[in-house]
Structure 1
């Protein structure tokens, strides 16, 4: 395999990650239609995002251990078959309970496949290119917001919300064929026992850092999950407008992620994190001010929406850089837990946003999101204090021994 040429199996894994993430988030764009079609409130409809993310967060660490010795091609095959079938059945689901059960099945399939995609990429990547290959697979998750969610929103607006799940099934089928056609069977790599994966949680600074990442995603998803009803109430936006709003917000998010990573390198993780959180809180304050002036033209809101999207994706790179610094030698285990922390935040954002929406209306979604981000900043500050205390104790111990 030429060193400078990206292999076909890598593209297949990038698309697989894209398919799973699109399926998780695309309901946000058709939430009002799903809720109306199933005769449930929009807060209940938002729990379809919550349950997917929560099941993924709980199942992914366990699946990465349980399925560590399974042949990779067989694992991807059965996971994608289950994922495709769950979405195909969801397109014909007649009740909220049935659709919820199908979301659980799709999430279990994703929980089995996504950690395996990272492991396979690490095993098959040439020496010196593992970081770039992993970044590409992770980029499939980000690309879902740029392309997958807007397309799903447009499909739902044009053909009904059930067609959105049909799109999810089609993505799963394409991923299945692509993986089967291109992915070689990598050598088996023994996984760490679950106890070793969870060991970093015993260190206060790592636990606080993971909670901080959860709070960061919680704030972003509190607004993103319910962006459709929020923009409907604020600007009268419908499915047609939401499609291109999600597309432009996704592009802004990609740019924001790149800028956040560069800021972490140039300014340091702490300064970049503070800048991102403060900017996010300011954008939420601006949304709250706009709420008092509603209805506001969607075109007038676009600069603010793009700033919010960019800042939402600016924050994770410095937060993850800070988590690695807090974890020290336990960095790999902390990163393994990071994906679960992210999905706990996604599911929590759907739950928190649903509570706020049901009890107070969509106008308080922005203030709730701002509070989550400020709590995240406080958690990282506490984590840094704990890390400094641990370092001080470690340096004092040899002196006491002498």
Structure 2
């Protein structure tokens, strides 16, 4: 005999299986994420033009990137915690409006100090946006499609990472750096209209809920394991990515650095696509597989430096791994954090940026003290530790995949 509850469950399951992904809404989130990360990375491609326009050195112009990162790192966690009760679309629109305002100020000002202040607050807006995008995307779909939805909403990240610097270099030569920031502002207006048109609004958490502290969220061992793996993965990546040109120079590939980065970017997009197909069924295995692919690529980098074509293949494998990393780690973070997902995502953004910064520092020290050839070996050590942690995490992180496949 079929009970009413089992009939209802069957009906819900059938409805879920026929659910169509809200592609337009998810792509609106992807576009917002793209603009956020583009705002962060694009100055690196036009430092000469910025330094000339503001009458400062290129080193000072480089602080456009630094101040944005500082704004994100310092404010993402407290602001996401403070705005938990805000309706989600209102918060996203506030972040996009902040991005629009501060990019516009950067485009118009001739005052270097004001430009830096604008970059800091653009980073604040970016941190808020990245802290909420994953939770927003996952709320739009049933349980069995949450990973795929996040993969679509995360498409903006690899696109901005691969296009940001070369796009900045090209646009600054074509229309100037001020008009480049103005163009981003124009695109942000389009994003605001798109969000208003297509995105559903969701309530924030009740103001009567107990405030969520960092210590409370970090008490979750599953979440800590995700952060440990994230630190090792992204730190290893940025050791090489920051200093890719010095590494390529002995192989005669420095002049083709733009081609190398293009291969990396295209492979990153492929990594997002592939992870979106399989993530809801095998999260843990995908994390392990992508870390293993990254390690294999670094082994090629370490031992095949006399074979430039094989190095380019290794670059593609590296890009495939890194492209999958954000969606895999964000999904694992959301799965582990549960009701505290937005606060946990803001912590993930902060940890991610700190890992990037530390990777750049470690890479610089290795370059000065040992040489660029040491990068792959140092990265292999970090990746080996990350692989061990994933294998040990069966009772902590990546629980969903373990239960489904073990």
Q: 1:266 to 1:334 in 2, by over 3 A?
A: closer
Corresponding residue to 1:201 among 218, 229, 252? 218
Corresponding residue for residue 256 of structure 1: 271
Q: 1:221 to 1:49 in 2, by over 3 A?
A: farther
Q: 1:371 to 1:229 in 2, by over 3 A?
A: closer
Q: 1:73 to 1:254 in 2, by over 3 A?
A: closer
Corresponding residue for residue 400 of structure 1: none
Corresponding residue for residue 93 of structure 2: 77
Corresponding residue for residue 381 of structure 1: 388
Q: 1:176 to 1:72 in 2, by over 3 A?
A: same
1:299-337 per-residue CA deviation (whole Å, 9 max, x = no partner) reads 89644543432343355666678x66xx98656657853
Corresponding residue for residue 298 of structure 2: 281
Mapped contact 1:87–1:102 kept (Cα < 8 A): yes
Once residues 34 and 286 of structure 2 are traced to their aligned partners in structure 1, the CA distance between those partners, rounded to angstroms, is 27
> 1:2-401 residue pairs with structure 2 within 5 A?
3-4=19-20, 6=22, 8-31=24-47, 34=50, 39-40=56-57, 48-94=64-110, 97-125=113-141, 129-147=145-163, 150-190=166-206, 195=212, 198-202=215-219, 206-227=223-244, 235=253, 237=255, 242=258, 245-258=260-273, 265=282, 268=285, 271-272=288-289, 275-285=292-302, 289=305, 302-313=312-323, 330=337, 333=340, 337=344, 340-350=347-357, 352-353=359-360, 356-357=363-364, 360=367, 364=371, 367-368=374-375, 371-372=378-379, 374-378=381-385, 381=388
Once residues 80 and 265 of structure 2 are traced to their aligned partners in structure 1, the CA distance between those partners, rounded to angstroms, is 29
* Distance apart, 1:347 and its partner CA: 4.4
Once residues 124 and 113 of structure 1 are traced to their aligned partners in structure 2, the CA distance between those partners, rounded to angstroms, is 17
Q: 1:89 to 1:379 in 2, by over 3 A?
A: same
Moved more, 210-219 or 309-318: 309-318
1:249-298 per-residue CA deviation (whole Å, 9 max, x = no partner) reads 211112234557859949935752552342243254269x47xx9xx8xx
Once residues 251 and 320 of structure 1 are traced to their aligned partners in structure 2, the CA distance between those partners, rounded to angstroms, is 21
Once residues 380 and 329 of structure 2 are traced to their aligned partners in structure 1, the CA distance between those partners, rounded to angstroms, is 12
Once residues 200 and 275 of structure 2 are traced to their aligned partners in structure 1, the CA distance between those partners, rounded to angstroms, is 35
Once residues 214 and 277 of structure 1 are traced to their aligned partners in structure 2, the CA distance between those partners, rounded to angstroms, is 15
* Distance apart, 1:59 and its partner CA: 2.6
Once residues 366 and 332 of structure 1 are traced to their aligned partners in structure 2, the CA distance between those partners, rounded to angstroms, is 45
1:69 counterpart SS class: coil
**Per chain length, whose mean CA-contact separation is higher, i.e. which structure has more relative contact order (CA < 8 Å, sep 6+)?**
1
1:128-183 per-residue CA deviation (whole Å, 9 max, x = no partner) reads 54443333212232332355554334213433444443333233222122223333
Mapped contact 1:72–1:185 kept (Cα < 8 A): yes
Once residues 108 and 161 of structure 2 are traced to their aligned partners in structure 1, the CA distance between those partners, rounded to angstroms, is 25
Mapped contact 1:64–1:112 kept (Cα < 8 A): yes
Q: 1:363 to 1:335 in 2, by over 3 A?
A: farther
Moved more, 126-135 or 208-217: 126-135
Once residues 79 and 373 of structure 2 are traced to their aligned partners in structure 1, the CA distance between those partners, rounded to angstroms, is 35
Mapped contact 2:268–2:323 kept (Cα < 8 A): yes
Mapped contact 1:260–1:272 kept (Cα < 8 A): no
Mapped contact 2:299–2:380 kept (Cα < 8 A): no
* Distance apart, 1:89 and its partner CA: 2.3
Q: 1:228 to 1:163 in 2, by over 3 A?
A: farther
1:83-110 per-residue CA deviation (whole Å, 9 max, x = no partner) reads 1121222234546644432221111112
Mapped contact 1:210–1:341 kept (Cα < 8 A): yes
Once residues 285 and 341 of structure 2 are traced to their aligned partners in structure 1, the CA distance between those partners, rounded to angstroms, is 20
Q: What's the TM-score once normalised by structure 2's chain length?
A: 0.70
Q: What's the TM-score once normalised by structure 1's chain length?
A: 0.71
Mapped contact 1:50–1:350 kept (Cα < 8 A): no
> Runs of 5+ in structure 2 lacking a partner?
1-17, 397-406
Q: 1:207 to 1:41 in 2, by over 3 A?
A: farther
After superposition, the CA RMSD in angstroms is: 4.5
